[in-house]
Structure 1
């Protein structure tokens, strides 16, 4: 079972963090959201206080989440919210298990493009440049949108584990053909019956918007321009309001 923390009462909302981070990355969001939800923050395998044990493929990470939720919140399909890596895990989870809704925070599902980025980085990640490469990546992700204090907080909580990073970015993402990755992403989204909101901190572009919305009738796309990779931390209260709106829309639809 994954290390997790719980606060609040109400419908279950699960928060999944990004690569190298842990559940405390969500701290600015947790308190406000806990006034209306039972909030569970999980440390993914190899992150935070959860065990570091391969493999680190998305299916394994998603099944870790399911095993944890089955132990601590077995009676209710969750609202599952993921940022970056966590959003990919949330997507895989929702394709296999019942959820009320999914909120994907700034994780592109254009996996072919993501593959190109990862392949460019992997040579440095396998050398003494590992730490510098990740530092540069996160600096670009933040895009100056976070406050200095929030940027420093995230920097302090990140843990760079080469085996974990390479385990997550290796495997299918490294080896599969681009067309196979595109088909995989579309298949995952097509298997999700619940509302799926993709929130981006930069404009994802009309082609991607069209593709994503075309993968299924439950998928919507929203962009908060100028918030970089962390829109939920740039505007935490606005993000909490968004989550409540998504959940309320689900409950309204199911009670019609």
Structure 2
């Protein structure tokens, strides 16, 4: 294992690297850290030289003045620029990290060997968060903000509930235009998606969110048929509950463009 630091605009980003094989960069999502993704990282290191890091305001990264999408994208760009690799890496992104990966690959042709997108970067046909959802989403962000202020430094998240809320609204805007970003990518794209991103309840807004999540993927595959998709019977916590499944899909997907499982 090697540990080093990337600095960007006053933000300090801790990076870890270890494993053997093809280079792979793992980009975490909102409210997730290197420590949270430890199990998945260890599994991927069996076959890859894995680079992991914390986004600004997460884990051991320093806090920042900005927590919008472009600021997080800049963190990924800075980490990628600091790497010394013999060949373009596989770029794996979870949730927000998947959206960052798509944007990075679209603006840096030839920079990645393949993209593996875990439950994110979904070109939704309509906003995920409507006026009806705002109160529920605000309560969820309050819970996430409180959970992130624990005593475990490697898992701490500095973002406030309001900053998480605003970023969630921004992500609907980002995903409304992400299909165009996909069209500029010159590497294989593999998606690993949860069948029930909002949980398996038949009550409340969960059914609508789950249907919308599936429709977004169907839209992408219709526009870009070479995109491969693996569905897991899970919610948005799939990187924690299904780490071994995800690692195996990554392993196979990086050797073939045709990996796919039928939706459950």
Q: Do structure 1's residue 102 and structure 2's residue 95 form an aligned pair?
A: no
Matches within 5 A, 1:1-256: 1=6, 2-73=13-84, 75-97=86-108, 98-107=111-120, 108-110=122-124, 112-116=126-130, 120-121=134-135, 124=138, 131-132=142-143, 157-159=155-157, 161-162=159-160, 164-166=163-165, 168-169=167-168, 172-173=170-171, 182=176, 184-202=177-195, 207-225=215-233, 227-249=234-256
Would the aligned equivalents of 1:56 and 1:167 in 2 still touch at CA under 8 Å?
Answer: no
Q: Point out where structure 2 has 5 or more consecutive residues left out of the alignment.
A: 1-5, 7-12, 197-209, 258-264
- Asked if 1 retains the 8 angstrom alpha-carbon contact of 2:29 and 2:95, the reply is yes
What's the CA shift for 1:199? Answer: 1.3
Cα distance in 2 for residues equivalent to 1:71 and 1:131: 34
Q: Deviations over 1:17-44 (max 9, x none)?
A: 2212211121111222112111111111
Indicate the structure with greater strand content. Answer: 2
The structural deviation recorded for 1:187 is: 0.7
1:45 deviation in Å? 1.7
Tell me, what secondary structure is at the counterpart of 2:93? strand
Q: Cα–Cα, structure 1 residues 35 and 109, in superposed 2: closer, same or farther, change >3 Å?
A: same
Matched residue SS, 2:99: helix
Q: Which has the higher contact order (CA 8 A, sep 6+)?
A: 1
Whole-angstrom CA distance in 1 between matches of 2:222 and 2:18: 36
SS in 1 for 2:112: coil
Deviation per CA, 1:64-94, whole angstroms, max 9, x where unpaired? Answer: 2122122123543221111111111112112
Q: What SS class does the counterpart of residue 169 from structure 1 fall into?
A: helix
Query: Offset of 1:120 from its aligned partner?
Result: 0.7
User: Mean alpha-carbon deviation: is it higher for 58-67 or for 83-92?
Assistant: 58-67
Larger fraction in helix: 1
Output the aligned Cα RMSD.
3.3
TM-score by length of 1: 0.73
Q: Larger deviation: 209-218 or 101-110? A: 209-218
Match of 2:260 in 1: none
Which contiguous aligned blocks of 4+ residues in structure 1 show a shift greater than 6 angstroms?
none
TM-score by length of 2: 0.71
* Number of positions where the alignment pairs a residue of Structure 1 with one of Structure 2: 224
Contact 1:52 1:164 in 2 (8 A): no
The 1-side partners of 2:133 and 2:239 are apart by 28
Query: 8 Å contact 2:25–2:92 — kept in the other structure?
Result: yes
